[in-house]
Amino acid sequence: MPKVFNARALWSTESDPHRAEKIAKNYGIPNWTNDVSKVLNHPEIDAVIICSPTDRHAEQTIEAARNKKHIFCEKPLDLDLDVVNKTIMATKDAGVKLMIGFNRRFDANFLRVKRAIDHDEVGKINMVRITSRDPSPPPVSYIKSSGGLFHDMTIHDFDMARFLIGDEVDEVYAMAQSVNLDIAAAGDIDTAVVLLKFHNGVICYIENSREAAYGYDQRVEVLGSKGSVACDNKYPNQVVVSTNESVRRDLPLHFFLERYMDAYVAEMEAFIHVCTTNGASVPVGGNDGREALLLALAANKSLAENRPVKVNELRG
Amino acid sequence: MPKVFNARALWSTESDPHRAEKIAKNYGIPNWTNDVSKVLNHPEIDAVIICSPTDRHAEQTIEAARNKKHIFCEKPLDLDLDVVNKTIMATKDAGVKLMIGFNRRFDANFLRVKRAIDHDEVGKINMVRITSRDPSPPPVSYIKSSGGLFHDMTIHDFDMARFLIGDEVDEVYAMAQSVNLDIAAAGDIDTAVVLLKFHNGVICYIENSREAAYGYDQRVEVLGSKGSVACDNKYPNQVVVSTNESVRRDLPLHFFLERYMDAYVAEMEAFIHVCTTNGASVPVGGNDGREALLLALAANKSLAENRPVKVNELRG
Amino acid sequence: MPKVFNARALWSTESDPHRAEKIAKNYGIPNWTNDVSKVLNHPEIDAVIICSPTDRHAEQTIEAARNKKHIFCEKPLDLDLDVVNKTIMATKDAGVKLMIGFNRRFDANFLRVKRAIDHDEVGKINMVRITSRDPSPPPVSYIKSSGGLFHDMTIHDFDMARFLIGDEVDEVYAMAQSVNLDIAAAGDIDTAVVLLKFHNGVICYIENSREAAYGYDQRVEVLGSKGSVACDNKYPNQVVVSTNESVRRDLPLHFFLERYMDAYVAEMEAFIHVCTTNGASVPVGGNDGREALLLALAANKSLAENRPVKVNELRG
Amino acid sequence: MPKVFNARALWSTESDPHRAEKIAKNYGIPNWTNDVSKVLNHPEIDAVIICSPTDRHAEQTIEAARNKKHIFCEKPLDLDLDVVNKTIMATKDAGVKLMIGFNRRFDANFLRVKRAIDHDEVGKINMVRITSRDPSPPPVSYIKSSGGLFHDMTIHDFDMARFLIGDEVDEVYAMAQSVNLDIAAAGDIDTAVVLLKFHNGVICYIENSREAAYGYDQRVEVLGSKGSVACDNKYPNQVVVSTNESVRRDLPLHFFLERYMDAYVAEMEAFIHVCTTNGASVPVGGNDGREALLLALAANKSLAENRPVKVNELRG
């Protein structure tokens, strides 16, 4: 598998018109443009990586698909289910591959947990816990355009739940609060527990917080008939300092860039593999994006109506 | 505080009529009887410890109270709220102390978590997780007379939640399944997650399983504004064996007797302290028993009706 | 095995003439005396526990042996090899059992390490590390009468090395320094590493310090052909507090009473078992005391002459 | 600091005459050669990295120095002290920078330990332990040309000891055995403990084994007046699997390439920084190479003569 991905062209949406040029220069990318269509139509380009703002994902994916490019698109395809369905359909019609950026599936810890499940190290799964906490809340401006906690943050956990359990969700119940007054004023929540009942009976509970003072907290624990498998956070070192006050270590890796740097690389390698290998199937496809979106919609509905919500209510 | 509790008399309900005699002999207890009233009325006895089957708790507590004995009673006082209220009232009327056997409050780990909260090590609490799993399901005969998972097992976690959070619950939602077919056939559940919304906004999620292959699993984790405090299980040793296959340690302490042996001793010391010290307040009283019972009733109702249930619905 | 050891008589050497009386009263011991011979000769006594100062051990052991009592004696029997040999001989001549108080052999962690070795979990042993550090240096007055670091502190580690490796030492080399100026002034050392070459080729390195700010530090690590087995310290709880500063836990159990409380109980149970069971062999006998003493003597000689010393040089 | 080091030219000593060509092609290196002098004399080259076999290090370093190239040379410069001195002198005369490849100084764990020392987290250092074990012995052919355990393996630990303690060694004592019969037959050892007495009084004990079944084992522990700092090994994940048999995790990173991959990158970044920054001092220079070599020579002499050896005996 090639370790280096030679980009042919780069487009940047940033307001700074010189940004694409600068980056291209720095990294030796031969072409750059401020017109995204020039990338999506470029005759020498086989595949595109779409990391634009969420509201451009669907249109750019559709345009790329029509130009027969394979597509890696950051999650979510869109916040509207119909748009998502239409976009997925466009990639199918065009016969191109569509991969969604659920980076955590490529993290060494979660992959090892998945392997424990697949290799029957813990037997039949009965219960799954997903803990996902950010080190500190984003600015309220971000919160306002984020689509809300379930779309912005829990969406990764919904995908992780489906990835680990290997089934679809029947029913969703959410309980939440807003600890941060600014977030509350913006109409969002920052602390939540979401229960998922899967069709196969497995119960999954996801817990989120926008503020864990000690840093990014990303753990899962699976209870099966033969035992459990759980992963802890990653730390910058394995050093312990013992004094007359405490036995302590440094904080875990602070946020997603540090924690998932290796996962992002593995994700890109997987996309390159998919694009360059006949018959290779996409590890995280459009349907995965759609199902996670449905769970976010169901969680929002559960919270609004304070009742358990069947996912089928939202399939329309 | 006396380390040795010199029992004056012993009563045993066991079908074996020689059991009380044997135990009394072994432990040097001067009096024994097969007639419980002889203990509850004994003129030299100041306090009694009631560890009989649940359906005898209330009547024996009331009889002891009328005889002006202080009472330590294993949880629950009763499965019926009215009986519990009547029993508590009887001890109040008699002016005797009533302590309920929520042994986990005396465990070094949970006490340390509580201390971290009380000493503001983690700031204002936002979320609490309680994990409580048994090593293997009890016989179905036990299940049938247990009152069900929430009354038998979760009751301890309900008390722990109230103990740690220091507030009362507003609303309860429960999701559950029966992995074990015999337990399902007996009409009970063995795998459950219960969400508690406290009046102060704190969200607590309790997860229970009747079967954790690796042994008794008793952990809590508290997320506050300044960080988190969490406890792990207790192990019989701190030994790690590393081979070409794995880095491994022995299983955690297998069940409640091993895990809570020290807690049981501390619990008894606390009861003795309460009985022998003027003005000492009971660390876990009748009201604690009643509130935990209410939460079990609410969880059962939530499960039966598949909806969040306000605790006040059950106060009658 | 009886859990309660009913003492028949008590003698205390303390300068306070009322001390023995008080203790006897507190613990319900029927007889007490300030004359040790009354205990050692008592017709109803089968076995004695000698915890007097080191310089009384040998004479009291010999008197007890002559009176046909089994003997548990705190280490060391004496600091002089000839006296030790004579004392051991006296117990053999009398046909009584002599057990030496190397309490660490009864600690759950070290027993588990020993089991890993005996059950071939780590293969043939090649190297052993013993870490043994006190939380803080004793008063200089104690240092002066202690016999020095190797006799007072390392002696336990010498026994542990022999216990784990199951062989005798061929050669000893010691390197040391005195960090504490008062200890240096008293002619003793407080920081040392001792290397032991066993006849079977195994290398053992013991490291001692009189001052570990975080508390009592008692660990071993064994490297064998199939892997390693290591034990960590014991902690008062399994609680971790994570804030924006660190991920920390409380200090390990502070000193030997806390750390080895369970080991002392198990040690006494073992002695009672030995005294009450026909054919039961003593788990730590006079020869174990003598061999550990020889290693302390060899370490002192190595330090004095700055050269490796054969243990046989000291056997005389 | 540049993250990408654009190599101008490549030379490979491998017997395969096409090897340099292939690698150059793969990595886009414009020039390649089978004649090392063409690299060492190349007019566009400012700095060279010498990773050839040990017996070429000195001559190539000297040639590079004469051509005014900065030099990064893998350890050791040579096994002969005079040659090392002459080589260092050549780089000084030429006014070029010489950096020695002690990669462990750039490992996040050891750097964190060093930082704890430098920032006075553990007070004045009294004792240091360095554990360094390979997962399995190399082929005997390698052993024969390795210069022996102390030159090949312990040399890194000697450097680590000097790095952490920040002082020079006064005296060395080594105890060793050959567990592996082939290694014994080749006249080398595979299991050793080396004691270092530093001029400032600190005692350091290094323990090495050629065979740790569980994988590469690289730990240090420092005891200071305020406490200790210790590092554990690095693991491929933070996953724990608990079954009815054990609580286990995967093995640590297997060998030096996995364990020190990040350290090698940081080491190269440091070299580039040194070469491109006016006044930047070399983090590991020729003198560090020489002092580590002296310690290996002293350890060999100690082993041969079974006595503590003053390092000054070897300075000549």
H, E, C per residue of D112-156: HHHHHHHCCCCCCEEEEEEEEECCCCCCHHHHHCCCCHHHHHHHH
Determine the straight-line distance between the first and last CA of chain A, rounded to whole angstroms.
41
Bridge partners (DSSP) of residue C174 are C194
Residue B206, SS3 per DSSP:
strand
Per-residue pLDDT at B2 exceeds 90: no
**Residue pair C234/C160 in contact by the 8 Å Cβ criterion:** no
Contact status, residue D150 vs residue D194, Cβ threshold 8 Å = yes
> What's the pLDDT score for residue C5?
44
pLDDT in tens, C58-109: 999 999 999 999 999 999 999 999 999 999 999 999 999 999 999 999 999 9
Instruction: Tell me the H-state helices in chain C.
Output: 19-27, 36-40, 54-66, 81-94, 108-118, 140-145, 149, 155-165, 181-185, 256-276, 286-305, 312-315
How far apart, in whole angstroms, are the C-alpha atoms of residue D19 and residue A98? 39
Closest CA to A252 of A235, A231, A238, A232: A235
Nearest chain D residue to A220 by CA distance is D239
- Asked if the peptide bond before residue B76 counts as cis, ω within 30 degrees of 0, the response is yes
Q: What single letter denotes the amino acid at residue C295?
A: L
| Chain-centre distance for alpha carbon D184 | 24
Cα–Cα distance for residue pair C3/C6, rounded to 1 Å: 10
| Pairs of CB atoms within 8 A across A/D | 80
Interface touch C242/A251, C-beta < 8 Å? yes
Burial of residue B29 (CB within 10 Å: 0-12, 13-18, 19+) is middle
∠ at Cα B105 (A193, C263), nearest 5°? 120
Element spanning A313, H or E: helix A312-315
Does the pTM exceed 0.80?
Answer: yes
Does A223 contact chain B (CB < 8 Å)?
A: yes
pLDDT of residue B251: 97
CA dihedral C35, C37, C38, C41 (to 10 degrees): 170
Beta-ladder partners of D83:
none
Q: What percent of chain C has pLDDT over 70?
A: 96
At C202 the pLDDT is 98
**pLDDT of C1:** 28
For residue C264, pLDDT over 90 is answered with: yes
Q: Is there a contact between A250 and C252 if contact means CB atoms under 8 Å apart?
A: no
CA torsion C28-C33-C37-C42 (nearest 10°) is -40
Which of B214, B243, B247 is opposite residue D249, by nearest beta carbon?
Answer: B247
Question: How far apart are alpha carbons D241 and A113 in whole angstroms?
Answer: 9
pLDDT at res. B3 = 33
Long-range contacts of C46-52 (CB under 8 A, 24+ apart): C46/C70, C46/C275, C47/C71, C47/C72, C47/C97, C47/C271, C47/C272, C47/C275, C48/C72, C49/C73, C49/C268, C49/C271, C50/C74, C51/C101, C52/C13
Q: Can you tell me the distance from the alpha carbon of C100 to that of D188, in angstroms, rounded to the nearest whole number? A: 41
Cα separation, B273 vs A8, whole angstroms: 78
- For residues D222 and D230, the answer to whether their CB atoms sit within 8 Å is yes
Confidence band (pLDDT; 50, 70, 90) for B113?
very high
pLDDT higher than 60, residue D5: no
Residue B6's pLDDT is what? 56
From C160, C229, A116, select the one nearest B250 (Cα to Cα): C229
Q: What is the DSSP string of C125-176?
A: EEEEEEEEE-SSPPPHHHHHHTT-HIIIIIHHHHHHHHHHH-S-EEEEEEEE
The answer, for A83 touching chain B at a CB cutoff of 8 Å, is: no
Helices C81-94 & C54-66, crossing angle to 10 degrees? 20
The H-or-E segment that residue B247 falls in is strand B247-249
Judged against a pLDDT cut of 90, whether residue D1 lies above it is answered with: no
Closest-CA distance, C123 to chain B, in angstroms, reads 10
In angstroms, the separation between the Cα of residue A216 and the nearest Cα of chain C is 11
Chain D environment of C225 (Cβ under 8 Å): 179, 211, 213
pLDDT of A15 reads 65
The pLDDT assigned to D203 comes to 98
* Confidence band of B16 (pLDDT split at 50, 70, 90): confident
Res. B5: pLDDT tops 50: no
Contacting residues for A89 by C-beta, under 8 A, at least 6 apart: none
Nearest CA in chain A to B198: A177
CA torsion angle for A267, A269, A273, A275 (degrees, to 10)? 70
Please report the pLDDT score of residue C15 as a whole number. Answer: 64
Q: Which of D127, D179, D307 sits opposite C126 (nearest CB)?
A: D179
pLDDT at residue B142 tops 80? yes
With beta carbons less than 8 A apart as the criterion, state whether A256 and A149 touch.
Answer: no
Measured in angstroms, the CA of C206 and the nearest CA of chain D are apart by 10
For residue D76, is the peptide bond before it cis, meaning its omega torsion is within 30 degrees of 0? Answer: yes
**CA–CA distances in Å: residue B36 to residues B40, B42, B58, B59, B66:** 6, 10, 14, 11, 14
Buried b / exposed e along B104-141 (16+ C-beta atoms within 10 A):
bbbbbbbbbbbebbeeebbeebbbbbbbbbbbebeeee
Bridge partners of C229, per DSSP, are: B241, C222
Residue for token pair 């009328």: B66
Preceding omega of A76 cis (within 30 degrees of 0): yes
- Enumerate the H helices of chain B as residue ranges: 19-27, 36-40, 54-66, 81-94, 108-118, 140-145, 149, 155-165, 181-185, 256-276, 286-305, 312-315
Q: Are B290 and B88 in contact (CB under 8 A)?
A: yes
Looking at residue D126, its amino acid is: N
Q: DSSP characters for C94-108? A: HT--EEE--GGGG-H
What's the average model confidence in pLDDT over D4-17? Answer: 64
pLDDT band at B28 (very low <50, low <70, confident <90, very high): confident
Question: In the prediction, which pLDDT does D17 show?
Answer: 76
Q: How far is C248 from chain A (nearest CA, A)?
A: 4
Chains touching C, CB cut-off 8 Å, 3+ pairs:
A, B, D
Class of residue C95 by CB neighbours under 10 A (exposed 0-12, middle 13-18, buried 19+): exposed
CA distance C214 to chain A (A): 4
Instruction: Give the closest residue to C71 by CA, choosing from C315, C256, C282.
Output: C282
Judged by DSSP in three states, B89 sits in helix
* Exposure string for B187-212, b = 16+ CB within 10 A, e = fewer: ebbbbbbbbbbbeebbbbbbbbbbbb
**Cβ contact C247–A251 (<8 Å):** yes
Token pair belonging to C157: 């580690």
Q: How far apart are CA C85 and CA C61, in angstroms?
A: 12
Q: Does D242 touch chain A (CB under 8 A)?
A: yes
User: Which residues lie across from B303 on neighbouring strands?
Assistant: none
Closest listed residue to residue C266, CA positions, set C105, C94, C138, C148: C105
| D20 at interface of A, judged by CB pairs closer than 8 A | no
Q: What are phi and psi of D281, to 5 degrees?
A: -90, 150
* Average pLDDT over every residue of C220-232: 98
Q: What is the rounded distance in angstroms from the CA atom of residue D87 to the CA atom of residue A44?
A: 53
CA A40, chain centre distance (Å)? 23
User: Are A283 and A111 contacting, i.e. CB atoms less than 8 angstroms apart?
Assistant: no
Residues 126..145 of D with a Cβ closer than 8 Å to B: which?
none
Nearest 5 degrees, angle CA B106-CA B107-CA B113?
A: 100
Nearest CA of chain D to the CA of B141: how many Å? Answer: 25
Q: Write down the pLDDT at residue B15.
A: 64
Residue B308 preceded by cis peptide, ω within 30: no
Bridge partners for A125 per DSSP: A224
The whole-angstrom separation of Cα B39 and Cα B98 is: 17
B241: nearest Cα among C216, C220, A227, C259: C220
What is the pLDDT tens value at each position of chain A, 316 positions in all?
Answer: 233 345 667 776 656 778 888 888 887 788 888 888 988 998 989 999 999 888 899 999 999 999 999 999 999 999 999 999 999 999 999 999 999 999 999 999 999 999 999 999 999 999 999 999 999 999 999 999 889 999 999 999 999 999 999 999 999 999 999 999 999 999 999 999 999 999 999 999 999 999 999 999 999 999 999 999 999 999 999 999 999 999 999 999 999 999 999 999 999 999 999 999 988 999 999 999 999 999 999 999 999 999 999 999 998 7
Check residues D55 and B97 and name the one with the higher pLDDT.
B97
Say if B209 is an interface residue toward chain A (CB within 8 Å).
Answer: yes
Contact yes or no for B72/B260 (Cβ under 8 A): no
In angstroms, rounded to a whole number, what is the distance separating the alpha carbons of residues A231 and A249? 18
CB contact under 8 A, B126 and A191: yes
Dist. CA C8–CA D122, nearest whole Å = 50
| Residues C161-192: tens digit of each pLDDT | 999 999 999 999 999 999 999 999 999 999 99
Do residues B236 and C108 make contact, with C-beta atoms less than 8 angstroms apart? yes
Q: Does the pLDDT of residue D4 top 70, yes or no?
A: no
Report CB contact under 8 Å: D212, C192: no
For testing the chain B interface, which of A122, A127, A206 should be mutated: the one with the most B CBs within 10 Å?
Answer: A127
* pLDDT higher than 60, residue B1: no
Asked whether the beta carbons of residue D231 and residue A250 sit closer than 8 angstroms, the reply is no
**CB contacts, 8 Å: C226 with chain D:** 213
